[in-house]
């Protein structure tokens, strides 16, 4: 079984600071995403699964419609596997309802006039994200026990929570610990991959212009996100 732990907005500086050894593994580093005009989640994951830069095609859909993207199975490298399980990946098996609810809460947060209202909305937003995270965690744990030749689990928590709470060190540390624990449950060699990292923007968080990878087996240097098609297929 080949396993990819796909984590949105995993920041290399924090992986180091919080010393997340299961996320770091033996080899880790940054990915090179400078070929993309901006570090956009949907563009990066769609390009990852397609094995090529499809930014133009995704951008043509517009900011809102791009979240409805579903890349056909046959246009991804997942087709090379007999029984792959791809959990919650944007552009493939993402739960759109979850994203829509996050967006709506985010908008009402920034529209809210007073601090009390903001605090209230932030609480709801965070609770919603943590609940979804627990569901995906369960699904991932089950998939690891099943008979798949490829399992990819996508975790959005660090990104979703990071946007509104990046200044909350305690909360961010707790999330990194949890993600590190999830990596620790994988009993076969695995790859950790993130689309981009995160930088502070006041108390908020914004996407950084590099991603993250780690591997127990190989030093991959400074790979592009589109290189992972061949990296993963060649590891079979």
Residues that bind Zn ion (CB under 5 A): 8, 41, 159, 195
- Whichever of 3 and 160 has its CB closer to Zn ion, that residue is 160
Task: Output the CA–CA distances (angstroms, integers) from residue 201 to 120, 161, 187, in the order listed.
Answer: 21, 14, 37
The least distance separating Zn ion from the CB of residue 41, rounded to whole angstroms, comes to: 3
The least distance separating Zn ion from the CB of residue 161, rounded to whole angstroms, comes to: 12
The least distance separating Zn ion from the CB of residue 226, rounded to whole angstroms, comes to: 16
Q: Cα Rg for the chain, rounded, in angstroms?
A: 17
Q: What's the rounded Cα separation, in Å, for the pair 152 and 191?
A: 10
- Whichever of 89 and 144 has its CB closer to Zn ion, that residue is 89
Which residue in the block uniquely carries the two structure tokens 């563009």? 43
- Whichever of 8 and 178 has its CB closer to Zn ion, that residue is 8
The least distance separating Zn ion from the CB of residue 89, rounded to whole angstroms, comes to: 11
- Whichever of 8 and 88 has its CB closer to Zn ion, that residue is 8
The least distance separating Zn ion from the CB of residue 120, rounded to whole angstroms, comes to: 26
Cβ burial, residue 228 (10 Å; 0-12/13-18/19+): buried
Token readout for 135 is 């569901």
**Looking at beta carbons, which residue is closest to Zn ion?**
41
Q: What's the rounded Cα separation, in Å, for the pair 153 and 216?
A: 18
- Whichever of 31 and 81 has its CB closer to Zn ion, that residue is 31
Token readout for 38 is 């901006």
- Whichever of 29 and 91 has its CB closer to Zn ion, that residue is 91
Order across the sheet with 27-32: list the strands: 27-32, 210-215, 190-194, 2-7, 150-155, 84-87
């Amino acid at each position: 079984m080949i396993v990819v732990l796909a984590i949105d907005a995993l920041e290399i500086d924090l992986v180091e600071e919080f010393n997340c050894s299961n996320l770091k593994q033996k080899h880790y580093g940054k990915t090179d995403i400078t070929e993309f005009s901006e570090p956009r989640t949907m563009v990066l994951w769609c390009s990852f699964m397609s094995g090529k830069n499809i930014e133009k095609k995704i951008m043509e859909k517009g900011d809102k419609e791009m979240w409805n993207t579903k890349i056909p199975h046959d246009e991804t490298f997942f087709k090379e596997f007999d029984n792959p399980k791809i959990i919650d990946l944007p552009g493939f098996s993402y739960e759109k309802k979850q994203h829509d609810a996050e967006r709506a809460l985010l908008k009402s947060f920034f529209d809210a006039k007073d601090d009390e209202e903001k605090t209230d909305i932030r609480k709801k937003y965070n609770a919603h994200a943590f609940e979804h995270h627990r569901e995906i965690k369960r699904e991932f744990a089950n998939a690891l026990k099943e008979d798949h030749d490829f399992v990819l689990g996508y975790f959005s928590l660090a990104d979703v929570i990071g946007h509104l709470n990046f200044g909350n060190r305690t909360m961010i540390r707790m999330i990194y610990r949890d993600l590190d624990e999830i990596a620790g449950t994988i009993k076969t060699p695995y790859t950790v991959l993130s689309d981009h990292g995160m930088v502070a923007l006041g108390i908020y968080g914004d996407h950084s212009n590099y991603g993250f990878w780690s591997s127990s087996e190989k030093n991959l240097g400074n790979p592009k996100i589109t290189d992972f098609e061949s990296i993963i297929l060649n590891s079979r």
